[in-house]
Chain A
Amino acid sequence: SQKIEQNSEALNIQEGKTATLTCNYTNYSPAYLQWYRQDPGRGPVFLLLIRENEKEKRKERLKVTFDTTLKQSLFHITASQPADSATYLCALYSGGGADGLTFGKGTHLIIQP
């Protein structure tokens, strides 16, 4: 069956360092991969989308890579700040219609001042 895996343990990073989050998937051939941020008690907020023919996408301090051979996406936050502390969700869409996204369980990121 299709599966998306994100590190379920919290990730603690010192302020100013680069945080790297991992999303692995199996039994998918996704055409697109998305990353969302979710704060406690709130809905997810879209951050970045990367297509299968793109290797890397950047937005300000955020960078996403997409390796379809390894079946993995890495999400990087450079110069991390305490305000970046949140849960980050990886989501996949296999294409072919108006189906919803399939989400990973998310990684809780904590940036220590």
Chain B
Amino acid sequence: DAGITQSPRHKVTETGTPVTLRCHQTENHRYMYWYRQDPGHGLRLIHYSYGVKDTDKGEVSDGYSVSRSKTEDFLLTLESATSSQTSVYFCAISEYEGAAYEQYFGPGTRLTVT
């Protein structure tokens, strides 16, 4: 498996609380992505990064922010969690420019917002 870890792996939190999910890679890949996966929707892109401090929004970015201060770490923050953000969150990395090349996914974080 590609060297991608996500933490925490499971989290239960209450509505209105801030939550930060961490993605850590040991591959030194430039591109990093956050997706969420929900039944009936499949994987949807939240935010992505194309370098340190370089990030952009994806399809479902409302309510989420990201930061990348180091090549190896990409953080996803829910400023004020809502029940609609209950989901499984996947981080992915890619070595080459753009998503024209394969992506490697982490094991996922299951987040439940009560």
Contacts and interface: CB of A to CB of B under 8 A. Distances in A.
Contacts, number: 68
How many of chain A's residues touch chain B, expressed as a range? 20 to 34
25 contacts: A32-B99, A43-B90, A45-B105, A46-B104, A89-B43, A91-B43, A93-B98, A93-B99, A95-B98, A95-B100, A97-B98, A98-B50, A98-B98, A99-B58, A99-B99, A100-B33, A100-B35, A100-B45, A100-B58, A100-B92, A101-B103, A103-B42, A104-B42, A105-B42, A106-B42
Interface of B: 31, 33, 35, 40-45, 48, 50, 56, 58-59, 90, 92, 97-108
A99 B45 CA distance: 9
A46 B103 contact: yes
A10 interface: no
A63 B87 CA distance: 32
Nearest to B44: A103
A43 B33 CA distance: 13
A40 to B, nearest CB: 11
Interface of A: 31-32, 34, 41-46, 49, 89, 91, 93, 95-106
B102 A46 contact: yes
Nearest to A100: B45
Given A34-B102, A43-B105, 14 more contacts: A43-B107, A43-B108, A44-B43, A46-B102, A91-B43, A93-B99, A95-B98, A96-B98, A98-B48, A98-B99, A99-B58, A103-B44, A104-B42, A106-B42
A43 B104 CA distance: 9
Contact of A102 (B45, B48, B50): B45
Nearest to A97: B98
Contacts of A100: 33, 35, 45, 48, 58, 92, 99, 103
Contacts of B90: 43-44
B83 to A, nearest CB: 22
Given A103-B42, A105-B41, A98 B107 contact: no
Nearest to B94: A98
A93 B48 CA distance: 14
